[in-house]
């Protein structure tokens, strides 16, 4: 690219995901952070919110102060409903500007499904078609045709990476899949205590959203789009008494193939991947290895039941599940090395 360093604004810079974005982008060799925006504590240094960030960066300001002509790319790490308002206001006026949205605003193609799940009317419906939902591993070339990138949810990322290749190859039965995902509490954001009021919040495990979690419609949409198959699955999320990390367990029956075949298909799919690691058969797995990285570790495990396997998938919910994947998408968008600035 001829523009030198990308000039970047991060709106929503002081939330958990926003701070991880700032921390990683502040060390990225192709990026210059021009604006860090929030609605509170204006004028503060970013290090006030996160001691990891040592670099001298712009002080926190309001998004209203952005000179949009001075930036190439904006990351939006905002509550649902906010990104669409900003993008609607700037998309046509600044036609070189690109957006990576970490909320759900452009994940769903159907605005009625968005309204049903998020209880918000979509205010930029005509721009949905201008956006791309991007798990990076599935969109390496296609992504450059779009200006609005919808970053996936953390749970759907951990689920789709191992599941979609197996559905596409018809290696597993799709009529009754059970998925459970356990996440560190940072996934609920800084307003955690308003969303969850059960006892011993930070020292206990909690199941929630069994039938109604918002990511279910995202999974339905993307699995159908990528595999052309509608599958039946149940999804149970859990909150863990740990800050970050996610472990997903997917229980499936195979189509008369053994676990070795399942593992070899995933190895084949991700053999050139910078971030996806397929472990040895029947390896025990936790989230410890992937914390503070953009990696996804996957283990295929046999069970006592013939042709039934468990697929474990571990990511950091704030990195591969959010900010890291957003930066991976940025790297692809601008033809930088895919793993630049990431570990």
Q: Is 154 a catalytic residue?
A: yes
278 and 270 in contact (C-beta within 8 Å)?
yes
21 and 75 in contact (C-beta within 8 Å)?
yes
CA dihedral over 330, 335, 338, 339, signed as positive or negative = negative
Instruction: Determine the Cα–Cα distance for residues 4 and 42; give it in Å rounded to an integer.
Output: 29
Instruction: Determine the Cα–Cα distance for residues 19 and 5; give it in Å rounded to an integer.
Output: 21
Q: In what order do the strands lie in the sheet with 148-150?
A: 60-61, 31-37, 6-11, 73-76, 98-101, 148-150, 131-133
143 and 333 in contact (C-beta within 8 Å)?
yes
Catalytic residue among 154, 217, 296, 301: 154
For 264-306, the DSSP string reads HHHHHHTTT-SSEEEPPTT----SGGGTTSS-EEEEEEE-SST
Candidates 164, 121, 13, 33; CA nearest to 77 is 13
If phi > 0 it is left, if psi is from -120 to 50 it is alpha, else beta; for residue 4 that is left
Angstrom distances, CA of residue 244 to CA of 17, 165, 255, 288: 11, 27, 35, 10
Beta pairing class for 177-184 and 233-240: parallel
Task: Give me the helix-helix angle, 324-333 and 16-25, nearest 10°.
Answer: 50
Q: Which residues are catalytic?
A: 154
């Amino acid at each position: 690219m001829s523009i030198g360093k990308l000039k970047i604004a991060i709106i929503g810079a002081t939330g958990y995901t926003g701070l991880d974005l700032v921390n990683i982008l502040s060390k990225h060799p192709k990026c210059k952070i021009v604006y860090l925006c929030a609605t509170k504590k204006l004028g503060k240094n970013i290090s006030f919110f996160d001691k990891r960030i040592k670099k001298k960066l712009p002080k926190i300001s309001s998004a209203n102060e952005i000179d949009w002509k001075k930036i190439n790319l904006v990351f939006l790490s905002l509550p649902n409903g906010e990104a669409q308002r900003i993008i609607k206001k700037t998309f046509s006026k600044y036609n070189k500007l690109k957006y990576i949205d970490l909320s759900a605003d452009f994940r769903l193609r159907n605005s009625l499904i968005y309204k049903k799940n998020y209880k918000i009317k979509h205010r930029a419906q005509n721009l949905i078609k201008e956006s791309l939902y991007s798990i990076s591993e599935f969109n390496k070339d296609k992504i450059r045709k779009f200006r609005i990138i919808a970053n996936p949810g953390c749970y759907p990322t951990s689920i789709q990476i191992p599941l979609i290749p197996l559905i596409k190859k018809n290696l597993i039965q799709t009529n009754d899949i059970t998925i459970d995902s356990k996440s560190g509490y940072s996934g609920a954001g800084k307003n955690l205590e308003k969303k969850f009021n059960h006892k011993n919040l930070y020292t206990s495990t909690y199941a929630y959203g069994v039938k109604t979690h918002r990511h279910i419609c995202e999974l339905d949409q993307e699995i159908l789009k990528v595999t052309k198959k509608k599958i039946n699955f149940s999804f149970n999320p859990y909150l863990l008494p740990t800050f970050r990390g996610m472990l997903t367990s997917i229980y499936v029956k195979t189509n008369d193939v053994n676990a070795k075949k399942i593992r070899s298909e995933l190895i084949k799919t991700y053999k050139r991947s910078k971030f996806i690691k397929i472990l040895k058969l029947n390896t025990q797995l936790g989230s410890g290895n992937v914390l503070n990285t953009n990696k996804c570790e996957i283990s295929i495990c046999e069970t006592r039941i013939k042709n039934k396997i468990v697929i474990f998938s571990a990511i950091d919910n704030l990195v591969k599940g959010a900010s890291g994947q957003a930066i991976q998408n940025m790297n692809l968008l601008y033809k930088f090395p895919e793993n630049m600035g990431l570990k």
